[in-house]
Structure 1
Amino acid sequence: MPEDEPTGLDAAVDALYTRPLEEFVAARDAAVRQAADGGDRLGAGRIKRLPKPSVAAWVTNHVAREHPEEVAALADLGDELRAATADRDRGRIRALDHLRRERTEGLVRMVREAGEVGGRPVSAAVLDRLTETLTAAVMDPDAAAVVRAGRLSRALQHVGFGIVDEQGEEADLVALQPAGKAERPGTAPDGGKPDSAAELAAAERAVDETSAQVDRLEARRDDVRERLRTADAAIERGEGEVDRLDRELERLTAERDAARQALDDARETADEARADLTAVEDDLDEAVERSAEARRRRREARGR
């Protein structure tokens, strides 16, 4: 951004990149309206073109704001490396490169051990992007300025010909730097050549269109992720309930089998008792008849 950029615009941009990731689009739209209502149409246009950060970029921005001294020391190491390279001091280059790895891994390790940044879990892939971005900040002074400012929209990677973002596209490092740090010699205040206004306007329209498309797709992605989280939670609850019911069914099945066995045993006992009762009743009938016959004979004997 040029040196005459309103300081309020820098503050508005910084405020966007400090928000939770899911609030970025709504906050950006509100900042665009505020700038436009204040008469800053140029600032409103620049804010509008700011894409929503990727998760890796958002994590890197958070690290840069939470650990500014460590990130600044890492960036300063880049100046020392470039000086050592210019002097062809191989011993110094090796020592500085070892220090770079130590400092980079130190920052990444803090995030890895915490397991989250700003309440958002950090995956192994994001940690890899963080490592690459911090390395890019050492290798390139413009990358260092953007990383230290905490304004990344995409993670960075240092390749043979310069700095690219995590999608492999050339990174627009100058436009994201704070006011007073973005101008390059031989460029106009808007970052283009003085005689390429039409080309710049077309490029900016393309950026607006593609940024809007990215925002829409990221919003859809966030919605789908939320649906997936909800479905996964429902699956977990359902599996737990099925397990509980399976255990309950197993218990009830065992109780049913035991009750059925007891019923069968009772029926068998009843059948045996019924047969015994029939036999006893038959014996009783015979005994009653014999008793009656004995009484009859006794009466006859007494009458003689």
Structure 2
Amino acid sequence: MSEVPGTTGATGATSEQAVDRLFALPLDEFVAARNAATKEATAAGDTVGAARLSALTKPTVAAWVVNQVARAHPEQVASLVALGDDLRAATEARDRARLTELDHERRRLVDALVREVSQAGGVGGRPVSGEALRRLGETLTAAVMDRDAGALVQAGRLTQALQHVGFGIVDESGEDADVVSLSAERAARRGGGAAAGTRARRAGAAAGQDGGAEERQDDEASRSGPGTEHSGSDTALADAELEVSAAAAEIDRLEGRRDQAVDVVREASDAVGPLDARLSELDEQIARLAAARDDTRAALDEARGALCAAEGALAAVDRELEAAEGRAEEARRRRRAARPKG
């Protein structure tokens, strides 16, 4: 099981490294590594870092795939994000020709990256289902269409895949996705003037996509100070963490089953199509053969009737022939009798 070293201390840089290591791990190791890192930070007296780490949500399968792709292909993802800036500029300028050109380029870049992942056969040693590839394409598209979504995808810290819809960015459940907090956190780090606790709260909200609860935890830790005991809060936090871990594990298990079921459905659908077409073809052949059989049966009945009539006529002719031969024999006999003797 992989550990996440370097989580002790109160520096934002150390906390950033710990979060990055967590989201770079194999998906099955996330929960155990997060719990170990939280305990390490707690033992070191880093209450802010511990609260931040414990609030991190295990990524879905699709989000984990996006995170690993963003790490493995930073240049391609950066190109997509930059393309988004060009699209927004063209939109403001109402340059339709440029918009069409950029939209074609967006599709080309997204399709190329998704195809590259598909041809590789997996990510980080884990097979990638067709459903995960579809969500990867949707998330990369969201990174182009929304600047904050692009920053979050580049950070490689998604907990759910994203999708761009007419009114904004939504996550896998169809709910509005909080993609704004990462941009604020990145700006704070570039400015360098924010306090360490505030910076950790903002970055934690971006990493976990659930900033409200984490900010309350960090505020309480800041007010209490590093030396204050929180046995009741620690117990409640531990209980809640167990519930979150169990729920996350169940979600991951069900998502894996769903991905497998989607693949099975797709394979079955691919098999049904040709068989259904073949069945229709055979049904048509059967209908044609049935019609031909009925016509042949009618012709056979007609031929049998003609045969029966011909056989009757032949029998009548045979009887007449036999009678004629009898009469001829009788005539010859009378002729012989009528000839003079001597």
CA distance in 2, matches of 1:208, 1:143: 32
Alpha-carbon offset, residue 181 of structure 1: 3.6
Q: Relative contact order, CA 8 A, sep 6+: which one is greater?
A: 1
> Once the two structures are superposed, what CA deviation does each residue of 1:108-142 show, in whole Å capped at 9, x if it has no partner?
00111112111111111101100000000001111
CA distance in 1, matches of 2:213, 2:51: 16
Alignment pair present for 1:49 and 2:58? no
How many residues are treated as equivalent by the alignment?
Answer: 217
CA distance in 1, matches of 2:83, 2:108: 12
CA distance in 2, matches of 1:109, 1:176: 28
* Residue of 143, 153, 163 corresponding to 1:137: 143
Alignment pair present for 1:30 and 2:36? yes
User: Is the 8 Å Cα contact of residues 157 and 163 (structure 1) preserved in structure 2?
Assistant: yes
- Structure 1 residue identity aligned to 2:138: E
1:117-266 pair list within 5 angstroms = 117-175=123-181, 179-181=185-187, 189=198, 190=201, 201=216, 213-220=243-250
> Once the two structures are superposed, what CA deviation does each residue of 1:41-92 show, in whole Å capped at 9, x if it has no partner?
1221121111100110111111100000000001000000001101111111
Alignment pair present for 1:87 and 2:117? no
* Closer, same or farther: CA 210–116 of 1 in aligned 2, 3 Å: farther
> Once the two structures are superposed, what CA deviation does each residue of 1:224-253 show, in whole Å capped at 9, x if it has no partner?
879xx9xxxxxxxxxxxxxxxxxxxxxxxx
* Closer, same or farther: CA 73–212 of 1 in aligned 2, 3 Å: farther
Q: CA RMSD in A?
A: 3.6
* Residue of 60, 63, 66 corresponding to 1:60: 66
* Residue of 116, 122, 134 corresponding to 1:110: 116
- Structure 2 residue identity aligned to 1:11: Q
* Closer, same or farther: CA 167–211 of 1 in aligned 2, 3 Å: farther
Alpha-carbon offset, residue 13 of structure 1: 0.3
2:84 alignment partner in structure 1:
78
1:14 alignment partner in structure 2:
20
Residue aligned with 1:120, SS:
coil
User: Is the 8 Å Cα contact of residues 66 and 156 (structure 2) preserved in structure 1?
Assistant: yes
- Structure 2 residue identity aligned to 1:219: A
* Closer, same or farther: CA 122–177 of 1 in aligned 2, 3 Å: farther
**Structure 1 segments unaligned to the other structure (5+ residues):** 230-304
TM-score, normalising length: structure 2: 0.56
1:279-294 pair list within 5 angstroms = none
